A = this chain, B = another copy of it.
Amino acid sequence: MRIAIAGAGAMGSRIGLMLHETGNEVILIDRWPEHIEAIRKNGLIGEFDDRKIVAQLPIYSPEEIIEEHETVDLIVALTKSMQLEQMFHDIQPIIGSKTFVFCLLNGLGHEETLAKFVPKENIIFGTTTWTAGLAGPGHAKLVGSGSIEMENLAPSGKAFTLEVLEVFQNARLNPIYSQNVRYSIWKKACINGTLNGLCTILDCNIAEFGSLTVAREMIEAIVAEFAAVADAEQIHLDHSEMIDAIEATYDPQTQGLHFPSMYQDLIRNQRKTEIDYINGAVWRKGQLAGINTPYCAFLTQLIHGKEELLKAK
């Protein structure tokens, strides 16, 4: 299969490498100049648990795509949330009438963005539990295992989605055909919508947050808002299942001592957060549906305030 990875950071590098190793034609697309330069010079280095590989994968900035390429069969979308729209605007030359997009971004609202560039029939959504890190430009650290859920948005997309599933299966990416990927996306967003913003604004790790007397009240208020807005999209989040999933992360033996990704982005690295695609998306969707989401609104405003104070980029 001819596959473009739109957003070839850590996770994009993992998926690109594993698909390339199993015989697919993989093209990387990214905007980071040092990353592009390193991969062109040395290839993309992947340090897995059990092996280190170097793959000579073509990499392009989105602006270069226009001169370079014919259409692809599949685009795996793995940009930062706020870069998705510009990316798809720029890579239109490789999107043909048969090209599918497999969106693996975290957060909400990406369906609406992708629908501007690709018919709904050609869109697959998914979530993943794989992890990935970068040791530097062109150098991915790929420990542990994971799986990938995927499901076509429109019934007509199922045949090709099953082809993608087989390709991912061959690449040992452990794909699962989901019966309700929108539910999985909402659930993940709901967990992120509590821990990410709250740990960031309170400046604490997950276990510290979980130990607070006020933790339960705050997550219940936020979960209730996610559930109300999800309901309007015919996604039924079970309140106590969400609370349990959130509270399961407090254990210091598992994830508790971690700082959520938003904390790392903003507090550690002064980077802009994805809050507009988590709590901010629930707030926007709520406004359209006539549902009040004051906790999501206030948390979004506080995080944006903190971004400005820290001059996040």
Residues of chain A having any CB pair with chain B under 8 Å = 198, 201-204, 208-209, 211-215, 217-218, 221, 292, 294-295, 297-299, 301-302, 304-306, 308-309
Contact A217 to B301, CB < 8 A, known contacts A201-B201, A202-B306, A204-B309: yes
The count of identical subunits is 2
A183 to chain B, nearest CB (A): 26
Residue from B215, B292, B301 in contact with A305 in the complex, judged by beta carbons closer than 8 Å: B215
Residues of B within 8 A of A204 (CB): 309
Q: Which residues of B contact A305 (CB under 8 A)?
A: 198, 202, 209, 212-215, 218
Bound Cα distance from A302 to B309, whole angstroms? 18
List B contacts of A203 (CB < 8 A).
309
User: Are A298's CB and B202's CB within 8 A?
Assistant: no
Partner of A294, one of B213, B215, B295: B295
Give A297's nearest chain B residue, CB to CB. Answer: B221
13 further contact pairs, Cβ within 8 A, besides A214-B304, A214-B305, A221-B297: A201-B302, A208-B309, A209-B305, A211-B308, A212-B305, A213-B304, A217-B301, A218-B298, A218-B301, A292-B292, A292-B294, A294-B294, A298-B298
| Minimal beta-carbon separation of A154 from chain B (angstroms) | 37
List B contacts of A295 (CB < 8 A).
Answer: 294, 298
Flag if A298 contacts B221 (CB, 8 Å): yes
In whole Å, how far is A58's beta carbon from the nearest beta carbon of chain B?
Answer: 40
Task: List residues of chain B with CB within 8 A of the CB of A215.
Answer: 305
A104 smallest CB distance to B (angstroms): 30
Whether A308 lies near B201 (C-beta < 8 A) is: no
17 chain-A/chain-B pairs, Cβ below 8 angstroms: A198-B305, A203-B309, A204-B309, A208-B309, A212-B304, A212-B305, A212-B308, A213-B304, A213-B308, A215-B305, A218-B298, A221-B294, A221-B297, A294-B294, A294-B295, A294-B298, A295-B298
Measured in the bound complex, the distance between the Cα atoms of B294 and A141 in whole Å is 43
B294 near A212 (CB under 8 angstroms)? no
Q: Please, how many angstroms separate the alpha-carbon atoms of A299 and B218 in the complex?
A: 10
